[in-house]
Chain A
């Protein structure tokens, strides 16, 4: 268990502490944990809510159920009837056969005689004409306080758009017939995906979320490979090879870590533009194949801690430096290399400014850019869909972290201790 790594050093400090003190510390730590976890939980919960509940701080998403057409369906409360209304079926006119709800106290309300009445209906598009007198069949009376509910449909789903004209079932039901049950709206995820698809023409792999994912994975793969290969070589040289100017170069490497990105942003952009690389992925992964200051520093520190006798033995055996690197150092340094790979992957996945700077076409967007585009879409994006998208963006990292936890934590500790 990872506990051994962490508790190896503790001794008299915690052992002598009274149980009360230890208990108090646990209480504070647990409180801190809940503060740290609440935003996560909130994100997860919001991603599973229907839109009307995203505004409230309910912790459990709920759904309303009602019997519509004899079937228990998920419904949305549209409005509560403020007065008695009549459910009628129109006998003639434009909407013949359609069922409508009309207020009973409306001054032009029909007089009901034998279940039939006459109503004035105005034809849509013909408002200038006199309303027509149309026969209606009164189906039912709905008293005040009843709820007008409509069948719930996930927004922005492909089906919804295809069936634009499809009528959603609706009815008037009393409060007593409505059931509130906890319900996780997993369809939000599908809606978020289709919203990311937007109006672009294209299949699921050429636009939208999966495209962003592919782009991101491509960039991550390229940068991780490049960084690991380049930094290993360079750190090897710094650690084991004597060459003139080594210390100066290393000093420069350290200094580079202090250069803020904005200082080189503009000329870098200009450089890439003159190379014709803006609008492509190249500025994002090509530099990785030349190494990075932080990882070089880290690996060099790690290599310095390796037993030198192995290398000397290999040299005596007549190995070239490359062979030593490949056959001796790399196997020993696997944890450190894994760490570099992980951190670079994390950095690339989360990178926003780089893609923002160099990518223009939405088909090239990475996940962070895609998510940001979703958020700033014209008209705004409902929060529950944004949260669903954020969850899809973040969860792979959490899963990755859980799998590689030991390597991760060792790596973080190394950045601090050796630094």
Chain B
């Protein structure tokens, strides 16, 4: 009985093990294999060595897409962090209304990406959109006109970042919840030492919630490199391929151009990039994240 008892656990985790192997591990490994082949839905995989990787190296569009993806992440991760943290700090600083504020900030996060895409596509519309209708009179005072947002290769990507910022409510709420957990004696000690509000935030609050900040940054890195729905629907990767990100390019190569081996090679590079950034974050966090009582 004891022997069976030890392996009871395996029975319970069996579904996960099967699912993991079939739906994650197998595709993951297959992806590596396929990246060294040339295949599509119609053509069986044929080994071509590192040709796909060679082609990626020579593919100008790939480098542009990679740059776009980094740019998007580089804008949305810090912006999201600052906005959600600021909102959380402000909400934490008021006595009443926290529940109501956090609900209002959270609502946009609920919205289906497809509906969001349609809505923001309309808001950013250069002729009739809400944003430009509001900006036009203001900019008209200095003889400028608002940019054509989704139609301009310079502004389309920032527009997508702005759209993503609408959904920071969940992160803000996580910060708020964690802020509530900061023990009061810390603040009292800091006040005794004569700390100003800003100093208290920098030296007490932020370190105390640093695990959550770190967690959110990791999630943001992983998430921002996988953005698909919004650019796919709104800009279709344009204008002039300025909003084509890695997932979209991989999709196109796999299902439109039917170069699945090529797409697998790219998806592997994407994974390695995310892994490298995550490892970098872990390394940087080692000295900065403070796990109180863990």
Contact = CB atoms under 8 A, between A and B. Distances in A.
B209 to A, nearest CB: 9
A36 interface: yes
A244 B6 contact: yes
Contacts of A25: 90, 93-94
Interface stretch (B48-56, B148-156, B182-190, B283-291): B182-190
Interface in B157-208: 166, 169-170, 173-182, 184, 187-188, 191
Contacts of A36: 104-105, 107-108, 166, 169
Contacts of B130: 38, 42, 57
A267 B16 contact: no
Interface string A1-21: 111001111111111010001
B70 to A, nearest CB: 15
Given A14-B94, A25-B90, A387 B114 contact: no
A15 B188 CA distance: 12
B90 A273 contact: no
B28 A242 contact: no
A39 interface: yes
Contact of B114 (A56, A271, A371): A371
A259 B118 contact: no
Contacts of A13: 92-93, 184, 187
A237 B13 contact: yes
Contacts of A118: none
B177 A321 contact: no
Contacts of A39: 108, 119-120, 123, 166
Contacts of B229: 352-353
Contact of B267 (A17, A21, A263): A263
A241 B8 contact: yes
Contacts of B270: 260, 262-263
Interface string A253-267: 100111111111111
Interface string B9-25: 11011011111101110
Interface of A: 1-3, 6-15, 17, 21-22, 25-26, 28-29, 32-33, 36-40, 42-43, 46, 54-57, 230, 233-234, 236-238, 241-244, 246, 249, 252-253, 256-271, 273, 287, 289-291, 296, 321, 346, 349-350, 352-353, 357, 367-368, 371-372, 375, 383, 386-387, 390, 393-394, 397-398, 401, 405, 409, 412-413, 415-417, 419
Which 3 A-B pairs have CB atoms at the shortest separation, nearest pair first? A290-B19, A243-B9, A9-B180
Interface of B: 6-10, 12-13, 15-20, 22-24, 26-28, 30-31, 34, 41, 87, 90-99, 101-108, 110-115, 118-120, 122-123, 127-128, 130, 133-134, 166, 169-170, 173-182, 184, 187-188, 191, 211-212, 215-216, 222, 225-226, 228-229, 233, 246-247, 250-251, 254-255, 260, 263-264, 267-268, 270-271, 274-275, 278
